[in-house]
Structure 1
Amino acid sequence: MNKELATALMVLVLGASHVAAQEVTYRNSIAPLWKAQCIACHGAPSPERADFLLDEKGYEARSQGPRMDSYERFIAFIAWPDTGALMRRLDDGTSPNAGGKPGNMNQYLGSTAQERAVNLKIVKAWVGDGAWNLNRWNKRGEVPAVTKEQLDKIKVKY
């Protein structure tokens, strides 16, 4: 193998490994972010989703949200049954149907506007290109129901 070909091959391999290292997955990006920013209210002591829904105001008064300490629990707030819940709560207010108002959990994505923006970008990249929307499973008010095309864009790699 000549030197130019070997160099080109090495650049290609290193470039590919760099891209793979940058892939946003639950394990390498979302779980650490969740542990840093969300575990206090959504960890193991928190109620399961169904229990939370039975006494939402009571749990919120105790600073407890629904339990989201696993990939499977987390996905319930993105795809189904609480379609778009994560997006509605973490959104910065710039998405369609947000009305310019950030979601109630956006403030917990970081201690500064810059940190929140960076962390939101990570979560949006994980959800999938074009998958970030505030729609619910069923239409509510002016917000339309999620479409099959929108659901098909959700990637959320483990």
Structure 2
Amino acid sequence: MLKKLAATLIFLLGAGAVAAQEVTYRTDIAPLWKSRCVACHGAQSPERADFLLDEKGYAEKSQGPRMDSYERLIAFISWPDTGAFMRRLDDGSSQYAGGKSGNMYQYLGSTDAERAANLKLLKGWVGDGAWNLNRWNKRGDVPMVSKEQLDKIQLKY
């Protein structure tokens, strides 16, 4: 009886792990990024350092900083532009958002449902509890990102 219970428990735990498949850059994020974001953040876009030299000029050309690879994209999540990804794509419900969605949230989908689903996917990739709007350094009332917040970042390739 105990062996059957243990076997059932092991099966159920294993099935749960399969059901909650992890979100990865290659399988989930790259295709989403290519369909929704690469037009303004693709190979034609400036590197981050160049973008920072003329943000207004690039914005007038509908070009954001280049984020067309895993390495380029994670710089806007962890460092050096800690939280920029989250601030731009947030739906306004995060702490410190003040109910205002990020300026890129509208591009996550054509409908509210599509935007919500894509945001959920992105949050799953960043990591449970890792979706924070904090920067590397404190700005205004928003404290700097903490080690505990950074430790929650997943970003599976």
TM-score, structure 2 normalization? 0.90
Equivalent-residue separation in structure 1 for 2:75 and 2:108 (angstroms):
19
Distance in 2 between the 1:17 and 1:136 partners? 33
- Structure 2: distance between partners of 1:19 and 1:155: 19
Shift of 1:66: 0.2
Residue 83 (1) aligns with residue 82 (2):
yes
Percent identity, aligned pairs only, is 75
Map residues 1-158 of structure 1 onto 2, 5 A cutoff: 15=15, 18-19=18-19, 22-158=21-157
CA distance in 1, matches of 2:45, 2:109: 21
Letter in 1 for 2:112: A
- The 1-side partners of 2:110 and 2:100 are apart by 18
Unaligned runs of 5+ in 1: none
Q: Partner amino acid for 1:19?
A: A
Equivalent-residue separation in structure 1 for 2:37 and 2:106 (angstroms): 11
State the superposition RMSD in angstroms: 2.0
Give the SS at the match of 2:117. helix
> When the two structures are aligned, how many residues end up with a matched partner?
151
Segments of structure 2 that go 5 or more residues without pairing to the other structure are: none
Q: CA deviation at 1:117?
A: 0.2
Question: In structure 1, what residue type is equivalent to 2:15?
Answer: G
1:17 CA displacement: 7.9
Shift of 1:19: 3.4
Distance 1:17 1:154, change over 3 A: closer
**Distance (whole Å) between structure 2 residues aligned to residue 152 and residue 19 of structure 1:** 25
Deviation at 1:16, TM superposition (A): 6.8
Cα distance per residue 1:120-140 (max 9 Å; x no partner)? 000000000000010000001
1:88 offset after TM fit, Å? 0.1
**Cα deviations by residue, 1:17-38 (Å, 9 ceiling, x for unpaired):** 8437x32000011000000100
SS at match of 2:116: helix
Q: What secondary structure, in the 3-state scheme, does the structure 2 residue paired with 1:140 have?
A: coil
